[in-house]
């Protein structure tokens, strides 16, 4: 794609945003395309109605809500749109492509590194939640699905999920192990007090995350199996490139350090 970029032109007017401000009630999420030849924004041509404007040209269809505007590497705009009480994904300079699946709510619109895969969280009328990848929703749905974790090749998704509903007025529920990671909609067998910072390995075959094992202990879990050591705190893990080894900052009695597969590999510091 970069081979087709125009490196010779010093200045080029893509769109006159001042004219947009005079034409529309509101302009949101101004977003340039990767090649710099387009700029898009969510605009409000009339009260409580929204559409997309690309280089000054607006879509024909109006929506009740729109947000999370992005471009793929083919320089096509992508966003979430809401009309007729349903959310879906919309793609294209004219909004010509829409996903067949629609939901009560959608959020966390996520693109793969090559932008060929699109994922998002969704909620159904039954108040269950999941992840949809390229218009294919998870078969298993959960009480709560917080985020979208996508494999580098864009073929797999994962998320932190809540496996047990909250019991009203029961504060002890928060001390129980009600969370885990679901990969392609399939939850791990093990559950934890809290889960965050999930990530796929380079090959997409492994998932690691931070977990809270009790009120004061943390560790890293890989494919549902926690490290054999616990810590006073830990930050989001990463996989060593090209391997299944995992590294994360952890807090020990001696201070903060980096741990690899549970074992410290750095000196200790006040913070890492």
CATH number at residue 90: 2.130.10.120
Verify that 153 and 206 share a domain, yes or no.
no
SS3 11: coil
Whether the pLDDT of residue 247 is over 70: the answer is yes
Check whether residue 69 and residue 35 sit in a common domain. yes
Q: Which of 193, 209, 244 is the last residue of a domain?
A: 193
Return all residues near 66 (Cβ < 8 A) that are at least 6 apart: 42, 50, 51, 52, 79, 80, 81, 82
Provide mean pLDDT across the span 190-200. 96
Average pLDDT score, the chain: 94
Number of domains within the chain = 2
Q: Are residues 199 and 268 in the same domain?
A: yes
Same domain, 149 and 271: no
- Mean pLDDT lowest for which of 5-19, 89-103, 115-129? 5-19
Does position 12 have pLDDT exceeding 90, yes or no? no
pLDDT of residue 10: 76
pLDDT confidence band for 202 (50 / 70 / 90): very high
Q: Final residue of a domain: which of 161, 193, 225?
A: 193
Residue 234 pLDDT grade (very low, low, confident, very high; cuts 50, 70, 90): very high
Q: What is the pLDDT of residue 3?
A: 64
Please compute the mean of the pLDDT values over residues 119-132 and round it to a whole number: 97
Q: Does 158 lie in the same domain as 183?
A: yes
Confidence of residue 137 (pLDDT cuts 50, 70, 90): very high
Average pLDDT of span 156-176 = 91
Let me know whether 124 and 232 are in one domain: no
Q: What pLDDT shows up at residue 200?
A: 98
Given a contact cutoff of 8 angstroms between Cβ atoms, the answer to whether 71 and 33 are in contact is: yes
Q: Are 75 and 35 in contact (CB under 8 A)?
A: yes
Confidence (pLDDT) at 4: 67
User: Do 126 and 230 fall within a single domain?
Assistant: no
The burial class, CB within 10 Å (0-12 / 13-18 / 19+), for 87 is buried
Domain end call among 193, 224, 242 = 193
What DSSP element (H or E) covers 129? strand 129-133
Mean pLDDT of 212-229: 95
- The reply to whether 182 and 215 lie within a common domain is no
Same structural domain, 122 and 238: no
Task: Judge contact between 221 and 209, C-beta under 8 A.
Answer: yes
In the 8-state DSSP scheme, what is residue 269? B
Categorize the per-residue pLDDT at 173 as very low, low, confident or very high, splitting at 50, 70 and 90: confident
pTM beyond 0.85, yes or no: yes
Q: What is the mean pLDDT of residues 26-47?
A: 95
- Confidence class of residue 46 from pLDDT cuts 50, 70 and 90? very high
Alpha-carbon 152 to chain mean position: 13
Residue 211 belongs to what domain range? 194-272
Q: Which residues are CB-contacts of 50 (< 8 A; sequence separation ≥ 6)? A: 42, 43, 44, 62, 63, 64, 65, 66
Regarding whether 265 and 156 lie in a shared domain, the answer is no
pLDDT at 246: 98
- Phi/psi region, residue 192 (left: phi>0; alpha: psi -120 to 50; beta: rest), is beta
User: What values do phi and psi take at 22, rounded to 5?
Assistant: -80, -25
Are 10 and 22 found together in one domain? yes
| Whether the predicted pLDDT of 66 surpasses 80 | yes
Residue 14 and residue 52 in one domain = yes
């Amino acid at each position: 794609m970069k081979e087709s970029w125009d490196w010779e032109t010093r200045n080029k007017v893509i769109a006159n945003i001042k004219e947009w401000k005079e034409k529309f009630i509101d302009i949101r999420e101004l977003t340039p395309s990767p090649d710099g030849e387009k700029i898009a924004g969510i605009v409000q041509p009339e009260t409580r109605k929204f559409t997309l404007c690309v280089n000054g040209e607006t879509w024909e269809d109006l929506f009740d809500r729109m947000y999370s505007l992005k471009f793929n590497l083919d320089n096509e705009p992508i966003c979430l749109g809401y009309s007729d009480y349903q959310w879906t994904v919309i793609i294209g300079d004219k909004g010509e492509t829409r996903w067949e699946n629609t939901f009560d709510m959608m959020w966390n619109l996520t693109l793969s590194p090559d932008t060929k895969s699109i994922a998002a969280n969704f909620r159904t009328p039954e108040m269950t939640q999941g992840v949809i990848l390229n218009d294919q929703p998870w078969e298993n749905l959960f009480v709560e699905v917080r985020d979208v974790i996508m494999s580098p090749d864009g073929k797999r998704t994962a998320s932190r999920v809540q496996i047990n509903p909250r019991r009203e007025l029961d504060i002890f529920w928060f001390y129980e192990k009600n969370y885990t990671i679901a990969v392609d909609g399939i939850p791990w067998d093990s559950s934890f007090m809290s889960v965050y910072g999930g990530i796929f390995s380079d090959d997409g075959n492994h998932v690691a995350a931070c977990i809270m094992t009790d009120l004061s202990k943390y560790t890293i879990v890989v494919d549902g199996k926690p490290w054999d050591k616990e810590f006073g705190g830990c930050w989001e893990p990463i996989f060593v490139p090209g391997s299944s080894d995992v590294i994360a900052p952890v807090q020990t009695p001696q201070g903060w350090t980096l741990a690899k597969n549970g074992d410290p590999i750095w000196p200790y510091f006040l913070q890492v």
